[in-house]
């Protein structure tokens, strides 16, 4: 369990964090972890380490899926009649997830561009 997860657990236990805030914290953590993995994947490209970059992107997309699943649960609950007050932290969580999704999508495209560049650089050497 990382430091962020410990913080969420502490709030849940000590302050009885409302359900929506718990979900929001989970989304922020998972989306944040996805962004970190995507950033690390970009760094792998500096040495043309495509395997390492793709492994990190698998992790990033797995974290995004966890964030998406948590958000979807809230949306489905609301569609089924559960009412939530407007929550700044949940809005922040959705924003964090959307930026993580964009970052991961762009990183995936950058990886493909690096592969093309690598092939072009090395085509005469093969």
State pLDDT tens for residues 106-122.
Answer: 999 999 999 999 999 98
CB burial of residue 36 (10 Å; 0-12, 13-18, 19+): middle
How high is the pLDDT of residue 10?
A: 60
pLDDT band at 7 (very low <50, low <70, confident <90, very high): low
pLDDT band at 65 (very low <50, low <70, confident <90, very high): very high
C-alpha Rg value of the chain to the nearest Å: 18
State pLDDT tens for residues 79-106.
Answer: 999 888 888 999 999 999 999 999 999 9
Number of separate domains in the chain: 1
Overall average pLDDT of the 30-35 stretch:
98
CATH number, position 24? 1.20.58.80
- For the question of residue 92 being annotated catalytic, the response is yes
How high is the pLDDT of residue 5?
A: 64
Q: Rounded CA gap, 91 and 107, in Å?
A: 24
**Domain that residue 14 falls in:** 3-125
Overall average pLDDT of the 26-30 stretch:
96
pLDDT band at 8 (very low <50, low <70, confident <90, very high): low
Which of 46, 68, 92, 122 is the catalytic position? 92
Average pLDDT, the chain: 90
Overall average pLDDT of the 19-30 stretch:
93
Report the predicted TM-score, pTM, of the whole model to 2 decimal places: 0.82
């Amino acid at each position: 369990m990382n430091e962020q997860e410990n913080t969420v657990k502490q709030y849940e236990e000590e302050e009885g964090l409302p359900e929506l805030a718990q979900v929001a914290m989970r989304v922020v953590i998972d989306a944040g972890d996805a962004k970190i993995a995507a950033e690390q994947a970009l760094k792998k490209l500096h040495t043309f380490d495509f395997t390492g970059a793709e492994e990190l992107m698998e992790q990033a997309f797995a974290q995004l899926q966890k964030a998406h699943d948590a958000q979807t649960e809230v949306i489905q609950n609301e569609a089924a009649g559960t009412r939530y007050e407007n929550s700044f932290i949940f809005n922040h969580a959705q924003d964090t997830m959307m930026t993580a999704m964009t970052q991961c999508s762009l990183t995936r495209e950058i990886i493909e561009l690096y592969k093309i560049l690598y092939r072009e650089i090395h085509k005469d050497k093969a």
